[in-house]
Amino acid sequence: MTQDPNPHEALASIQAARSSVGRSMDYPVWYDALYGAVCGLLVASQGLPTLWGLIVLPIALGGLAFMVTSWRKRLGWWVSGYSPKRARWVAFGLLAVFFGLIGLSLYGRYVGPWWLFIVSGVIGFVVAIAASRLWMRVWLKELAEAPQ
Binding positions for another protein, rule: CB under 8 A: 1, 3, 5, 7-8, 10-11, 13-15, 17-18, 20-22, 24, 72-73, 75-80, 83-84, 142-143, 146-148
- What is the nearest approach in angstroms of another protein to the Cβ of residue 147? 5
- What is the nearest approach in angstroms of another protein to the Cβ of residue 61? 19
- What is the nearest approach in angstroms of another protein to the Cβ of residue 51? 35
Let me know: does 65 contact 84? Beta carbons within 8 Å.
no
User: What single DSSP character describes residue 45?
Assistant: G
| Single-letter code of the amino acid located at 124 | G
Let me know: does 131 contact 93? Beta carbons within 8 Å.
yes
SS3 label, residue 111: coil
**Closer residue to another protein (CB): 2 or 50:** 2
**Closer residue to another protein (CB): 21 or 67:** 21
**Closer residue to another protein (CB): 75 or 118:** 75
Let me know: does 102 contact 110? Beta carbons within 8 Å.
no
Number of residues in the chain: 148
- What is the nearest approach in angstroms of another protein to the Cβ of residue 56? 28
